[in-house]
Amino acid sequence: MKVGLFVTCLVDLMRPRIGFAALKLLEEAGCEVIVPQSQTCCGQPGYNSGDRRAAQTLAKKVLAEFSACPYVVVPSGSCCGMIKTHYPELLAEVPELQTEVQRLASRTYELTDFLVNVLKVERVASRFDGIVTYHDACSGLRELGVKRQPRKLLSQMEGLTLHEMQGPEQCCGFGGTFAVKYGEISARIADQKCEDIQSTGADAVVLGDLGCMLNIEGRLRRRGDARTRVLHVAEVLAGMTE
């Protein structure tokens, strides 16, 4: 099965290991992975900042780059949500692209959703020793219904114990540019997330969106917690956490 990997701009710049972990998981599940080299960003920062035209330009670029891929997989709920749930509205003014954008939206998947619901992966080969707690990042959860999929794969991993936090669906306060425009409020919201994570006694908080990871990790460390690891679900599933 041919799959296009949309790495996402944050993973490319900040934490490439997540991209390689996604690559490994897909290849191990028997996919032939295509990584278009010209890819940059899905356009979300522009879209959520009200710069619709900039977002449209990038959406068209993604559309062209992945048009040949039967499936597109994204290791990020928010970037996947951008393509899957927002592109059709974003490109509504361009009627000639409607068929193509609908086609792209319908075959774009968040990584764990793709592994579980399309590839029917039952378990992954790697192990993780420790207690983890899973944070449901907002877009993955509320735009794409990613909830059961990562838990299903994680809970079957050898050595791994899943302890749920009290409010796994509560926003971490990241919100893209919100984290900078309203830094104080954002950090305060992150505080509650940090406390919830810490109260589980988990060795690591696992989630599927790098933006939220940076926010949670940044706040945990500033609060003096050097212990709780913040890991992407792809890193854990692929056994690439060191």
Partner 1 sequence: MQIASSQFKAAAAERLKNPHLFKALSNLRGRMVTGRATVIEELDNFEEIREGARQVRDLALANLDVLLEEFERNAIARGAQVHWAATMDEMNRIVLDIARSNQVRKVIKSKSMLGEESGLNGFLAQAGIDVRETDLGEYIIQVSKDTPSHIIAPAIHKTKEEIAALFERLHGTPRKNDIAEMTREAREVMRPHFLTADMGITGANFLVAESGTTVIVTNEGNGRMTTTLPRVHVAIAGIEKVLPTLEDVSFILRLLTRSATGQSISNYLTFTTGPKRPGDQDGPDQFHIIIVDGGRTKVLASDLREALRCIRCGACMNHCPVYQNIGGHPYGWVYPGPIGSVLTPAYAGIENALDLPNAATLCNQCGVVCPVKIPLPDLMRKLREKQVDRGLRPASERIGLRLWAWAATRPAIYALTTKIAARVGRRMAGRDGLIHRLPGGGAAWTDGRDMPAPAGRTFRELYAARDRSAR
Interacting residue ranges for partner 1, rule: CB under 8 A: 7, 9, 11-17, 19-20, 35, 37-41, 43, 45-52, 54, 57-58, 61, 89, 138-139, 142-143, 169-171, 173-176, 178-190, 192, 213-215, 217-219, 221-222, 226, 230
CB of 120 to partner 1, least distance (A): 27
**Closest to partner 1 by CB, 157 or 168:** 168
**Closest to partner 1 by CB, 37 or 99:** 37
CB of 158 to partner 1, least distance (A): 27
**Burial of 52 from C-beta contacts in 10 A (0-12 / 13-18 / 19+):** middle
Which helix (H) or strand (E) segment holds residue 133: the answer is: strand 127-134
**Closest to partner 1 by CB, 8 or 112:** 8
**Closest to partner 1 by CB, 26 or 157:** 26
| Residues 151 and 187 sit within 8 Å (Cβ to Cβ) | no
Token code pair at residue 162: 């899943």
Which helix (H) or strand (E) segment holds residue 205: the answer is: strand 204-207
Token code pair at residue 68: 């040949």
Closest CA to 5 of 30, 25, 31, 34: 34
Token code pair at residue 200: 């589980």
CB of 219 to partner 1, least distance (A): 5
**Closest to partner 1 by CB, 157 or 208:** 208
Token code pair at residue 52: 């619709």
CB of 164 to partner 1, least distance (A): 15
> Residue 173, CB half-sphere, CA atoms under 13 Å: how many?
21
**Closest to partner 1 by CB, 46 or 150:** 46
Helix/strand/coil for 40: coil
Say how many C-beta atoms besides its own lie within 10 A of residue 7's C-beta.
Answer: 22
CB of 179 to partner 1, least distance (A): 6
**Closest to partner 1 by CB, 11 or 119:** 11
CB of 206 to partner 1, least distance (A): 15
Say how many C-beta atoms besides its own lie within 10 A of residue 105's C-beta.
Answer: 17
CB of 208 to partner 1, least distance (A): 15
The rounded distance, in Å, linking the Cα atoms of 67 and 55 is: 18
Closest CA to 143 of 207, 84, 193: 84
